[in-house]
Amino acid sequence: MPVTIDPKTRSWIPVPSDNDFSIQNLPYAVMETTNGASAVCTAIGDQVINLAALHDAGQFNKTAIAAENIFKADALNKFMTAGRKTWTDVRQRLCDLLREGGDPALKDDVNLRNKAIQPIETVKLKLPVKIGDFTDFYSSKHHAMNVGIMFRGKENALMPNWLHLPVGYHGRAGTVFPSGFDIKRPCGQTKADDAQVPSYGPSRLLDFELEMGFFVGKANDHGTRVSTDQTSDHIFGMVLINDWSARDLQKWEYVPLGPFLGKSFATTISPWVVTLDALEPFKTNAQPRDIPVLPYLEEKSAAAYDIELEAHIQSEKLTEPMRLTHTNFKHMYWTIAQQLAHHTVNGTAMRVGDLCGSGTISGPTKDSLGSMLELCWKGTKPMKLPDGTERRFFEDGDTVTLTGWCQGDGYRVGFGKCAAKILPATPT
């Protein structure tokens, strides 16, 4: 079962109440170390803690991973593969080393502090996980309704299967990039409504999709299923996802088989993986079912998460970022447990490091929509920026930043930033 850290616990490292990285969080990432190697790390306040350095100093000697330093790695996969018992042991040990009144082994050792602690702004973070497969679901009913109304009309907005199963498609794992990696505008075939034939060139309708995703931390064998109540053993943690979408490429190519080049060029994720243990206190009831689901999709307890989400745009002319949207992960119709249960119901073997995206997270109101497609309603309602320009979709030079956090009593469990700048297309 997930292990939560008492809300009253405080760290000897200062953490402002609106900082993402409280001691209740303890997320995991992969950092580049000063000698050019890689190490698993966690964050607390404005500091990054190098777990490989802590392991070298014998700080995990009383855990099951004492023998091998699994934190000397360029991805979290080995740590994830070690399983839930190890996830729990490491979290508890970190909490003990970092909390006020805990084990002083790090706090009182200047040498170790110098080796293991670094200000967050000096650390380069990498893609945290070697991602095997990337699946993207389509689990927000508000989003599915909006897009359905735009393209099929109100009567046929939801496809007949939508309320019966979390629909999804297989994306491209090799083009998932960490926050900070600039995205080149994609090129491709598009066809204007009044044109006879398609033409080739840079996408003109480049969009974001505000999503969250989970990493599989425990594999299942071919032919077996993961039930909704096994989620906490099989899911390691969550990240923010910007699933970049070229709407003009997508519109022309996606029938009959679904998205291809309109999505495959780039997906950006946040570098910090927030564990289900840290998210446990923020569980909340899922949206009410419109119709009953089949037994394998039923859930016995609250399975949604209350996670505040925002997206901001920073153009080259804006003096400060402008908020595009503010929504919440709890608005999703299908939960991550249902997504994993459905993904494996045909006997699919999931592997450690597989990434599952939620699909665009749109809320019920006009200011809580998770894509420009919806915010500007297919380009019919342009958005005014304080620099005097307008947006229907993104321009070259725009930076899009996603943030997300759970609000506790006096502390936050946050995800950091998922940001990327759009560069001009390679000349055709």
Q: Decide: is 209 part of the binding site for Ca ion (CB under 5 A).
A: yes
Beta bridge partners of residue 423, listed in sequence order = 184
Position of minimal CB gap to Ca ion = 243
Residue partners of 290: CB distance under 8 A and separation at least 6:
163
Instruction: Give me the catalytic one of 55, 142, 143, 343.
Output: 143
Number of helical H runs and strand E runs in the chain? 11, 26
Q: How far is the CB of 167 from Ca ion (least distance, A)?
A: 11
Q: Taking the CA of residue 218 as centre, how many other CA atoms within 13 Å lie in the half-sphere pointing to its CB?
A: 18
Q: Decide: is 243 part of the binding site for Ca ion (CB under 5 A).
A: yes
Complex with Ca ion: residue 243 or 299, whichever CB lies closer: 243
Binding mask 39-78 for Ca ion (x = CB under 5 A): ----------------------------------------
C-alpha closest to that of 238 among 347, 339, 312: 339
Region near Ca ion per CB under 5 A, out of 33-41, 88-96, 133-141, 186-194: 133-141
Complex with Ca ion: residue 78 or 143, whichever CB lies closer: 143
Region near Ca ion per CB under 5 A, out of 23-31, 112-120, 128-136, 330-338: 128-136
Region near Ca ion per CB under 5 A, out of 80-88, 113-121, 241-249, 274-282: 241-249
Integer Cα distance of 255 and 257 in angstroms:
5
Q: Decide: is 354 part of the binding site for Ca ion (CB under 5 A).
A: no
CA 256 to chain CA centroid, nearest Å: 28
Contact 46, 19 (CB under 8 A): yes
Contact 52, 32 (CB under 8 A): no
Q: Decide: is 136 part of the binding site for Ca ion (CB under 5 A).
A: yes
CA 267 to chain CA centroid, nearest Å: 10
Three-state secondary structure call for residue 228: helix
DSSP code of residue 377: T
Q: Decide: is 280 part of the binding site for Ca ion (CB under 5 A).
A: no
Q: Decide: is 398 part of the binding site for Ca ion (CB under 5 A).
A: no
Q: Decide: is 207 part of the binding site for Ca ion (CB under 5 A).
A: no
170 has catalytic annotation: no
Interaction site with Ca ion (CB under 5 A): 136, 209, 243
The residues assigned a catalytic role are: 143
